[in-house]
Chains A and B, each alone.
Chain A
Amino acid sequence: MSSPQEFFGNIADLIRGIPRDIILLLNRLPYVHLDPENDVRGVIVILMTAILAIYGLTNLLLAPWLERKVMARMMGRRGPVYVGKFGLLQLIADIFKLISKEDTMPMTADKFGFNLAIFMMGIATIMSFAPIPWARGVVGANMDIGLLYVFAVFSVFPPAMLLGGWASNSKYSLIGGFRAAAQLVAYEIPMMLSILGVLIFSGSLNLMTIVEEQYSNGWYVYRAFPGLFIAFVIFLFASLAETERTPFDIPEAEGELVMGPRTEFSGWRYAIILMVEYIHMYVNVILVIVLFLGGWDVIPVIHGVNYPEFLWMIKDNRLIQFLAFNVKIYIGVFFVTWVRVSFPRFRIDQFIEWGWKTLLPLSFIALGIVVVYAGLLVA
C-alpha cells in the first residue's frame, strides 16, 4: 500500500486481479483454455457487485437504527438502548426474532403469487446496487445504461406489489396493492422527466460518467438555476413517494388498511419485506445524491472560480471520496427520517392529484428551463 489515497484503488485492482489469477491457475488443468482478459469480465462484475452490495447491506444495518434513534429524539424518547452499545444491534436482534418465528401463510392465499412477489422484490432490490459508483473507479458494473438499469429494476415493484396484494386474498391487501401500483406509476413519470435535465448535461446514462461530469463542472443542484433545482426537489419528493415513506405511505396507511399489501406476510417474509423497503429507500437516497448532489465528489466546483492545488488533491483522494459519499448517504437518510416525523399523511386522491397536476407540469417547466439554458450554452 503506497499511500492512503491509493488504498481504495488498490483494493479495486486486487478484486480485479483475483479472478485472473484463478483462471491462470485453471489453465494449468488439462482441456481448459480460458482467455484471462475477456472471460473474466463477467466474473469481475459479479464479484465487485457482490462485495459492494454486501458493504451496502452492512452499512444498511445502521440506517434503521439511525432512523429509530432520530425519530425517538425528535419525539422526545430515547429509542433502542438495550441491545449493544446505544442499541446498535437492535436490528440484528429484530431480524433474528422474525426469522425464528413460525412460517405462516393464509389458507386461501395463492401460494405461487405469494412467494413470487417476495422473491421478485428481494432480488430486484439487491440487483439495484450493481451500477452505483462508490468512489472513482469503485463500482460493481460500469454499464452504459446504468440509470435505465436502476429504473428497470425498480419498475418490477408495482406488479410485484399488486401480485402480492392479490395473492394474499385479503381485501386490505388488494386495496393496498392497487394504491401502491397507482402511486408508483403516477410518480414514476415526474421522476423520469426530472432526470431528463440531468441527462441533457451529462449526455450519458452511465452513473460513473454522470458523477465525473459533476466532478469537473459542478453539481447539478445549482446548475441551470433554477431548472435543475426544481428537478431536484421533484425527484426528491417523487422518490419519497416511490419508497412509500411517510408522508406518502398511503398504501400501508395503518389506520385504514392495517399494513397495505404487506398485511398477510409474516416471519421471514416480513423480514425480507422490511429489508426491501429500507434498501429501496437507501438506493433512492443514493440516486438523489448521484444525480444531483455530486455523488462521491467532495467539493463542488463553481464555474469561474479557481481552486488551489490542495483542494484538488482532496477532491482526487479516493478514500475521502468514499467517506464523503457515505456521509452524504447518512445525511440523506437523516433527511428522510426528518420528513417522516414532521408531516402527516396525505389522502390518496390528494396525493395522486398532486402527482399528476402539480409535479408533472412543474417538471415540464423545469425541463424547459434546462433546455433553454443548455441551448444558450451551446449557442
Chain B
Amino acid sequence: MGWFLEANFILIGIITILMAFGTLSTKKVMRAAAFLLLTLVGVALTYLFLGFEFLMGIQITVYAGGILILFLFSVLLTGHEEFKMDLEFAKENIVQILISILLFFTLTALMLSIYGNYQLTGNELVLQAQTKGLTQDFSVALFSHFNYVLPILGVLLFSAMLGSVKLVLREEEL
C-alpha cells in the first residue's frame, strides 16, 4: 500500500505549496495569515508522514496557537494594505521572480544531486523511523543527551518575552 501513502504525501505537499503561494498572493494581510495557518498545518502533516508525530503536535500548538495569534494581532494593530499580484507586478519585479525560480531549481538540483551521490555509493536513504514508542525515545534523549536544549530555550524565550514587552510598552507606561 506504498502508493497510497505516497499519493497522500504528494497531495498534502501540493496543497501546502498552494497555500504558501496563497499566503504571498492574496489581497489582504489577514487572509495571508489564514493561509499561513493552513500552510503550517500542512507542514505538520508532513512531519507526521516523516514519522515525527510529536513535532506535529508542537508545530500546531506553538505555531498555529501561539505565533499565528501574534501575527493576527499585529496585523490588526498595524492596519492592512491592499496588495495584488497582477501583470504590472510581474513587470516591476521581473528580476526578483527570476531569482526565485532560479533559486528553486538550483536548490532542488543540489539536494537531489547529493542524494544521487548517496545512491552511487550503494547507501540508499530510506525512512528509518517507526512511529511506535518514538515519542518516548525522543523525550528520553531530550532529557539525557540533549539536556542542555531546554534550559537554553527557556533563557532564550524569557529574554525574547522581556524584550518584546519592553519594545511594545510606551514610554509613559514604563
Contacts and interface: CB of A to CB of B under 8 A. Distances in A.
A166 B76 CA distance: 9
A24 interface: no
Contacts of B4: 39
A156 B30 CA distance: 16
A37 B68 CA distance: 40
Interface stretch (A157-165, A322-330, A349-357): A157-165
Contacts of A34: 1
Interface stretch (B101-109, B114-122, B132-140, B152-160): B132-140
Majority secondary structure, A binding face: helix
A365 interface: no
A144 B56 contact: no
B53 A143 contact: yes
Taking residues whose C-beta sits less than 8 angstroms from the other chain, chain A's interface range is 20 to 34
A62 B136 CA distance: 39
B54 interface: yes
Given A35-B1, A148-B57, A162-B72, A205 B65 contact: no
Interface stretch (A96-104, A110-118, A217-225): A110-118
Contacts of A155: 60-61, 64-66
Contacts, number: 87
B14 interface: no
A35 B4 CA distance: 13
A210 B57 CA distance: 18
A162 B33 CA distance: 11
A162 B56 contact: no
A152 B30 contact: no
Q: Give the dominant DSSP class at B's interface.
A: helix
Contacts of A145: 53-54, 56-57, 135
B54 A181 contact: no
Most chain B CB within a 10 A radius of its CB, from A39, A144, A158: A144
A153 B64 CA distance: 10
A149 interface: yes
Interface in B40-85: 53-54, 56-58, 60-61, 64-66, 68-69, 72-73, 76
Given A159-B37, A159-B64, A181 B72 contact: yes
Given A112-B31, A148-B54, A158 B136 contact: no
A151 interface: yes
26 contacts: A39-B4, A110-B28, A110-B31, A113-B34, A116-B34, A144-B53, A144-B131, A145-B135, A148-B54, A148-B57, A148-B61, A155-B61, A156-B37, A156-B60, A156-B65, A158-B69, A159-B34, A159-B37, A159-B68, A159-B69, A159-B72, A163-B30, A163-B34, A166-B30, A166-B72, A181-B69
Interface of A: 34-35, 38-39, 110, 112-113, 116, 120, 143-145, 148-149, 151-156, 158-159, 162-163, 166-167, 174, 178, 181, 185, 188, 204-205
Interface of B: 1, 4, 28, 30-31, 33-34, 37, 53-54, 56-58, 60-61, 64-66, 68-69, 72-73, 76, 131-136
